[in-house]
Every structure is written in C-alpha cells, then in structure tokens.
Structure 1
Amino acid sequence: MGADIHGFIECRVTYGTIDEEDSSWDAAIDLSLLYNGNSYDAFGCLFGVRNYSGFRPLAEGRGLPPDVTEEVRGYYEDDPYLYHSASWIGWEELAAVDWDEPNLPVDARVHEYRITRVERMTRREALSQDGRWAPVWATMKALADVHGPEYVRLVVWFDN
C-alpha cells in the first residue's frame, strides 16, 4: 500500500500590516494543486516518512503547528484514522538546507545503470529543485519574497 502526501502552504500575511504580530496565518494553497507525486525519497528526506533512502529527516514528527489555520486543521482532522505523520517545515529552514548533504547509509536499493555501483543519494537528488517539487518551491519562495521567509511554511500529513 502506497503513501500519499497532503497539505497546504501557509503564509502569515505581513504585507500592508502595521504590526506584524497582529497578522495571522492563512492557508495559501492546497499542496495538491502544486504537487501530485509519490516520492518516498522526498518524503523521507523532508519528514522521515517511508525513509528507505536513510536521510536525516529535516522536519520529522512535528505535528501540526500550534497556530495552524482552522482550514488546514479541518482537512487533517477530517479522517483521523486515515491521516498520520503530520509535520511542517518553514521556508527559512528550506532555504538554509545543504542540498548536497548525502543520505546516511549507502542506498541499498537496486538502481539500474550500465555498470554496477553503490551510491549515496543527496538531498538535491531526492528533492529535485527543477522536477516535481519545483512548483512548491517556487510558490513558497514567491510568498517569502513578499512576506518574509519566516512567514511561509509547508504543512503536511500522509495517508496509506
């Protein structure tokens, strides 16, 4: 049985506010509008879910943010028996990631090459910057450019 990712990009609107502390988080866009893949390497690298490639997860098991929007909480709590492994990661954290950091063990899965070799995967390979995750990163970056990197986050959960 496969695992699928669900979630939202949330943004704390600061543009045009007098006091940033008075602003609240908004559910900016449903993740399904930007990403519809099923990459266990990415899930493991980011959130420790199906971490077959052995990365040190960036944001494992954080749960929903305490100030998550009611809209996002509603989607997650819609089926408490189906959804699991809620977590989140901010754009500020993602922007600081060493994308060339390798996974911890040698990737023991079989890969097809013209020659036989073992390798260590990097975060860049698990989360291609120009592949399926590109629309997610571009949206988060655009929001961060307007509102600040500390005010943009990806909130996710998984199903089986």
Structure 2
Amino acid sequence: MGTDISGHVECRAWHLHEEGEDTVWRAAIDLFFLNITRNYDAFGCLFGVRNYANFRPLAADRGLPDDASETVRAELDRLAPWPDQAYATTWITWTEIKEADWDEPAEKADSRLHRYRQTPDGLRLTGKSAWNSDFARAVGLPAHVPGEVQEWPEGSEWLIGDTLYRSEKLRRRDAIPETSEWITVWTVMEALASQHGGDNVRLVVWFDN
C-alpha cells in the first residue's frame, strides 16, 4: 500500500484583517493543484514519512498548527473518522525551506540498495528497493523477514550479471533536485513570501495510505 500527501499552502497576510484584530492564517492554494507526486525521498527529507533514505527531517511530527486556517481544519475534521486518511500532520514555513542546507547528507546510507543497469552509454539507475530476490540469492542472504531492514556500508557494490547494486547516501538536493515536482510548490510559496514575509507563508500537510 502506498502513501500519498495532501495539504495546503497557507498565508498570514497582514492587510487582510480589521484594525485591532489579530491576523489569521488563510488557505492560499490546495497542494492538489501544485504537487501530489508520490516521492518518498522528498517525504522523508521534509517530513520524516517513508524515510527510507534516513534523512534528518526538516519538519516532522509537528501536528496541526494551533492557528491553522479554517479550510485546513474543516478538511481534517472531515477526515477524522478515518485515521489512515490523515496522519503525520505537520507544517513548514518558507523561511525554513529557504534556509535549509540542501547539500546536507542523510544521517546514514539509504535503507534501499540502488540498482543500476549497465548500458552502452554507462550505468543507468533502474530502481531502489529494500529487498531484491535476485540479489539475495546471489549473495546468499537468508529468507527475507517482512519489515526487516538490512543495512549496508555506504559505497558497497555488487555486480550481478549486468546489474550493479550499490549502497548510497543521499543529499537533500538528491531527494528534491532543481527539476523536482516540488519546485512548483516552492515557486508559489516564494511569491507569497515576497509580499508577506517568509514566516507568514507555510505548507501544512498530512498523509494517507
């Protein structure tokens, strides 16, 4: 069963309140319109969900902001009867995203072996997996225990036929490169922040299976 992301970009605009009233957060745009790609490396890097790459998450398990927008509260209230449809709720501001060190490496090697195929043009990444039956047979691993995570020293390699299996450590920018689907989200947040300030723009998200 896969994991998907939902959420909203929220903005706290100082000019959208009556004099003497506190400012409130408003939902600016549903994440559905920007990016709902199932990218586990990004989920782990940002929010600690499906963190197979073993990043130090930027914003994990913060819960729902106390001052969340009415739109976000209403949506989560609607999903409340189904806990698997809205869990790991958290948030991150544009300031935090902007100040993140995108060259920061994961805390340890990826829990998945990276699989490459040898081609006339060189190695081509064909996938990542925590368990591969062909690899297991070739290196003499015992039967796989569901949920068990195998750790390999970073840089370990095994060439089996025309497939190279390699243990690698990712950097944040490997999880969310400049060509990533997340760039659309960053563009919207940056545009809002240019008007209202980075601390007044945030992304509130939750996950479902």
For the criterion TM > 0.5, the same-fold answer is: yes
1:154 has 2:203 as partner? yes
Q: d(CA) in 2 for partners of 1:21 and 1:102?
A: 44
1:108 shift after superposition: 3.4
Moved over 4 A (4+): 15-21
Equivalent in the alignment of 2:22: 22
Equivalent in the alignment of 2:56: 56
Equivalent in the alignment of 1:37: 37
Equivalent in the alignment of 2:97: 94
SS across alignment from 1:144: helix
Structure having the higher strand fraction is: 2
1:136 shift after superposition: 0.2
Equivalent in the alignment of 1:70: 70
1:120 has 2:169 as partner? yes
SS across alignment from 2:108: coil
Paired AA for residue 201 in structure 2: V
Residues 129 and 137 in structure 1, CA contact (< 8 A), matched pair in contact too? no
Residues 10 and 29 in structure 1, CA contact (< 8 A), matched pair in contact too? yes
Unaligned runs of 5+ in 1: none
1:105 shift after superposition: 1.0
Query: What is the count of residue pairs matched by the alignment?
Result: 160
Paired AA for residue 51 in structure 2: N
Cα deviation, 1:23-59, whole Å, max 9, x if unaligned, reads 2211000001000200111111111111111001111
CA gap 1:19/1:52 in 2 versus in 1, 3 angstroms: farther
Paired AA for residue 173 in structure 2: R
SS across alignment from 1:78: helix
Report which of the two structures shows the higher radius of gyration computed on alpha carbons: 2
- Indicate which of 192, 196, 201 corresponds to 1:143: 192
Equivalent in the alignment of 2:88: 85
Q: d(CA) in 2 for partners of 1:129 and 1:62?
A: 26
Q: How does 1:2-13 map to 2 (within 5 A)?
A: 2-13=2-13
Q: d(CA) in 1 for partners of 2:183 and 2:90?
A: 20
Equivalent in the alignment of 1:129: 178
Equivalent in the alignment of 2:107: 104
SS across alignment from 2:180: coil
Cα deviation, 1:72-96, whole Å, max 9, x if unaligned, reads 1111221122211100000111111
Q: d(CA) in 2 for partners of 1:94 and 1:31?
A: 16
Q: TM-score, normalised by structure 1?
A: 0.92
Q: Percent identity?
A: 49
State the Cα RMSD in Å: 1.9
